[in-house]
Structure 1
Amino acid sequence: MRTRRDRLRAATVKEISETARRILVEEGAEAVTLRAIAREMGMTAPALYRYYDSHRELLRHVVGDLFTELTAELHNAIHEVQPPDLSRKFLAVSRQFRRWALAHPREYALLFGAPVRGTSSQEDADFAEACAREFGWTFLALFLELWQKKPFPVPPDEEIDPALLVQLRKYRDEDLGVSLPLGVIQQFLKCWVRLQGGVSLEVFGHLEFALDDAEPLFELMLSEISPILGLTYTPPGGPPAAGPSLAG
């Protein structure tokens, strides 16, 4: 059982994180300083060092909390799919990822812009990395489920660029720890680059030179990715397009 002191500390840490996020949203990442947070909370900056050793350590905790929030929203989107099948799950989680990103552009920039590095505590770095990995597994788990139910076409090892092959093997064996053909890992990364890259361009305003509304382009991308994975593309609010649908 936590002591009263532990509960007070946890409440203060939560308030610090919430204050940091509010400043992030209102003023941008560069404004999230220990001094600014202390001023908002009616504390002195040195007092915050009882909770965080550095500005970077604080940001890593904010990053971890944001990844946890985003992951929860993606899981909720998956669980709301009725009837549950892999095609609808893939589309639901992809669309929710974009919706969250557009609704939280500065939070998204903190997660997927320049990474926050160099924390003074390995424990805090591990916390942020663990939250990021949990987010990543949301997408990878769908690929694993799809591959197990109905393997989609992937290139054999000898057809993958040797320089890429080495990196894919390292990523699979050391980071993911899964038993999958390297072609599956390559396909996963190709799809993720298209999905996250397209969302990033939209969030950061790099499509505004041509598009006022990038959603049709995003949906076009989903319609192109889906059949590659043996999935059925369903337009938002519309009937499914012709093709196989995998229950899951």
Structure 2
Amino acid sequence: MFTREWLRAVVVVMFTLAPMSVGAEVPWQFADNTRYMAMGDSLVAGYGAIPATQGYAYLLYKEGVFDKIPNTLLSNVGLIGATSQDVLDKQVPLAIDPFVPTVITLTVGGNDLASILTGADPATVLGNFQANLTNIFFQLRTALPEAKIYVSNLYDIPEIPMATEIVLLFNGIVEGVASGFQVPVADVFSAFEGRKGLRLIQRNGADQYEVHPSNAGHRAIAKAFKAVIENN
């Protein structure tokens, strides 16, 4: 699904969002500028936000968290339904070649955990995620040693039985693996804790397994990333 032609199309689309002051430059002339790649699942793609360009990755870009917009080239490869295996197999190769980002944000794991709801063994799911996340960071650090990498943990969804216990175990894995590769962790869990209106599941008539954030939730995720980025 992720081809080089697809990535080039994404780059061109995002280039058209840049202010006209950029002038006649074309994407491949941005080699010396900040190259931001947002990697992961539906949260990265902006699912739950209306419109999707109010998703957290786009907010980080538009707010100039990494650099001024004219100096930033964004590639958002977040995909609805993506698991950590998908990121490892399909998104990491795009980061290594051809995009070569200078900054990476990653949110992944929710779809890994979703398999537990359909009967998968939690220990197996968490073990596989840990192995995949380790491999993701290893490959990125090896191929892109100068890139700044940031990862988020996951927020709790107390409306789903046993979610809290699983999410806490999951977040412990994220923290442990990330520390081994000097990757700062955006504390999305704390940003959501005790707050209403950040999860779509809290809305009347929502599906019992609606796990995505609202517009306010995406803003909270962006704020959590911004805090860790500014301190690292």
- Tell me if both proteins adopt one fold, taking TM over 0.5 as the criterion: no
* Structure (1 or 2) with the larger CA radius of gyration: 1
TM-score by length of 2: 0.29
What TM-score, normalized to structure 1?
Answer: 0.28
More helix by share: 1
As a proportion of its length, which structure holds more strand? 2
